[in-house]
């Protein structure tokens, strides 16, 4: 078993870094989206806005009564997406995707996304408007 040489150290570092949270993202999730309004959207991409400070994915979502709702999903900054391997072909119009996220506080058809799932189960991380924390979920199974 490895000794945890630096664990005390890291514990202190943790407290310091937590206090410095505002320094690591452009803006926070909490002020814009409602953690009490989780949404699961299956839709078709109509447009991707490659804009800073956060990208926006536009999707058409069919409701059970046959209507089409136009949703906007907030993703990561283009600069960060590009450096992580996204490109203009990553999410073309017409692509069917499943997005899990949280709806806007004002109730509009906007959500933040974190990852999206393609029909074959492949996932694409969209960066969200989160603050730079690694994955908190362990499930990597395709979403139903």
Partner 1 sequence: MRSRLLTVAGLAMALGLITAAPGAAQGPTPPKAPATVQRTPWGDPDIQGVWSFDSEAGVPFERPQALGTKAAVAESELEEFLEEREAERAERAPTLGGITGAGPTHWFEDWGQKSNRTSLVIDPADGRVPALTPEAQARQRAGGQGGGGTFGNGPFNSFSDFTNWDRCITRGKPNVMFPTIYNNNTRITQGPGYVAITYEMIHETDIVPVDGRAHLPENLRQWLGNARGHWEGDTLVIETTNFTDRTNYRGATSTLKVIERYTPVPGKGLRYEMTVDDPKTFTRKWTAALNLTPSVDMFEYACHEGNYAIKNVLSGARAAEKAQGAAR
Site residues for partner 1, 19-58, by CB under 8 A, read 20-35, 49-54, 56
Structure tokens at 114: 């974190």
Query: Strand 68-74 vs strand 123-125: parallel, antiparallel, or unpaired?
Result: unpaired
**Quick check: 66 binds partner 1 (CB under 8 A)?**
no
For residue 124, list its beta bridge partners: 116
Measure the CA–CA gap between 37 and 29, rounded to whole angstroms. Answer: 13
Query: Which of 66, 134, 139, 141 is close enough to bind partner 1 by CB under 8 A?
Result: 134
Q: Cα(25)–Cα(64) distance, rounded to whole angstroms?
A: 37
- Residue 15, both tokens: 């407290």
Site for partner 1 in 69-88 (CB under 8 A): 74, 76-80, 82-88
Q: Which is nearer to partner 1, 23 or 63 (CB)?
A: 23
Binding flags for partner 1, 101-120, as an x/- string (CB under 8 A): xx-xxxxx-x-x-xx-----
Number of residues that bind partner 1 (CB under 8 A): 78
Tell me 62's DSSP state: E
| Closest to partner 1 by CB, 26 or 62 | 26
């Amino acid at each position: 078993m490895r000794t945890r040489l630096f664990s005390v150290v890291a514990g202190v570092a943790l407290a310091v870094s937590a206090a410095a949270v505002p320094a690591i993202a452009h803006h926070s999730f909490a002020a814009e989206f409602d953690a009490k309004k989780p949404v699961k959207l299956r839709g078709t991409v109509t447009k991707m806005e490659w804009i800073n400070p956060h990208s926006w994915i536009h999707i058409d979502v069919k409701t059970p009564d046959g209507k089409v709702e136009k949703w906007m999903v907030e993703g990561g900054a283009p600069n960060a997406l590009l450096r992580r391997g996204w490109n203009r072909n990553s999410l073309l119009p017409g692509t069917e995707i499943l997005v899990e996220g949280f709806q806007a506080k004002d109730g509009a058809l906007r959500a933040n996304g974190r990852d999206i799932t393609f029909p074959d189960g492949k996932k694409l991380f969209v960066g969200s408007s989160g603050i730079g924390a690694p994955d908190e979920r362990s499930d990597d199974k395709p979403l139903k």
